[in-house]
Structure 1
Amino acid sequence: MNLLLVMIGGFFGSISRYTLGEWLYMENGFPIGTLSVNLIGCLFLGWFTAFIMKRKKIRLEIPLLIGTGFTGSFTTFSTFSVETVQLIEQQMMLTAITYILISVFAGIGFAYTGYKIAGYKKKKVGGPQ
């Protein structure tokens, strides 16, 4: 059953990624489609993870379907990596470096923002809560 949930989420995530990537495709060499998909995925997964962590009881099926299945197939590290290699092969070093830096730092920033949007607060250890 768990595998089926991941497959269903993955089906919809990959279709969503493909559709959004095609819609945002730009021909100037910068892979804006993949960058956008990955940043949206970072924001969403940050929010979703914090949302789940705030819940006392959550069915295992929900994170499998949405987190692992949908978001895992919506975002794409492999495409980011291949596009970066292609930019380097085309000797577009500044574009490749910009793509890497934006992907990593904005991705972490978007995930953090997702946590904050969900209202996640780290529990203090050893004091009144």
Structure 2
Amino acid sequence: MKQALLVFLGGGFGSVLRYLISKSLNPVFQNFFLGTFLVNIVGCFLIGLFLGLSAKGNLLSYNNTIFLATGFCGGFTTFSAFAFEKHSLLKNGDLLPFAIYMASSIIIGVLAVVLGLWLSKQL
């Protein structure tokens, strides 16, 4: 139960920070969501840093890792988890699953957005 609370709190902080960054930076360029892009890249860097420190042993406790990687990065951006999982596939030499997962996630994800938008117009 304690870990679920840590994920909840970390996710809340990450989500609020993502909202503030996106709200302030997305309007900067037309047709390029600068805030979202930066959040995704920073989130990828942070999940790599947090999980790397956790893997070293005593640099981050399990609870700190749950709060930061799963909670904060998960709330800040799910793209960070996506990127870390793809890195794991590459690290293990699983090139075909990497390519299939990468392409299908992007293509199906975009199609799911289109479907959701279409469905919302039908209701």
Q: Same fold (TM over 0.5)?
A: yes
Structure 1 length-normalised TM: 0.56
- Taking the aligned partners of 2:67 and 2:36, their CA distance within structure 1 comes to 22
| Cα gap change, 1:28 to 1:51, in 2 (>3 Å) | same
C-alpha displacement at 1:76, in angstroms?
4.0
RMSD: 2.5
C-alpha displacement at 1:75, in angstroms?
0.9
Moved more, 53-62 or 6-15: 53-62
C-alpha displacement at 1:59, in angstroms?
3.0
| Cα gap change, 1:33 to 1:76, in 2 (>3 Å) | farther
C-alpha displacement at 1:54, in angstroms?
1.0
C-alpha displacement at 1:57, in angstroms?
7.4
8 Å contact from structure 1 (residues 34, 76) kept in 2: no
Q: 1:73 is matched with which residue: 75, 83, 99?
A: 75
Tell me the residue number matched to 1:48.
50
- Greater RCO, 1 or 2 (C-alpha within 8 Å, sep 6+): 1
Structure 2 length-normalised TM: 0.58
| Cα gap change, 1:70 to 1:57, in 2 (>3 Å) | closer
Tell me how many residue pairs correspond in the alignment: 83
Identity %: 38
- Taking the aligned partners of 1:46 and 1:36, their CA distance within structure 2 comes to 15
C-alpha displacement at 1:17, in angstroms?
0.5
Question: Structure 2: which 5+ residue stretches go unaligned?
Answer: 80-105, 115-123
Tell me the residue number matched to 2:11.
10
8 Å contact from structure 2 (residues 21, 39) kept in 1: yes
Taking the TM superposition and a 5 Å limit, the aligned residue runs for 1:1-129 are 1-26=2-27, 27-56=29-58, 58-77=60-79
Structure with more of its chain in helix, by fraction: 2
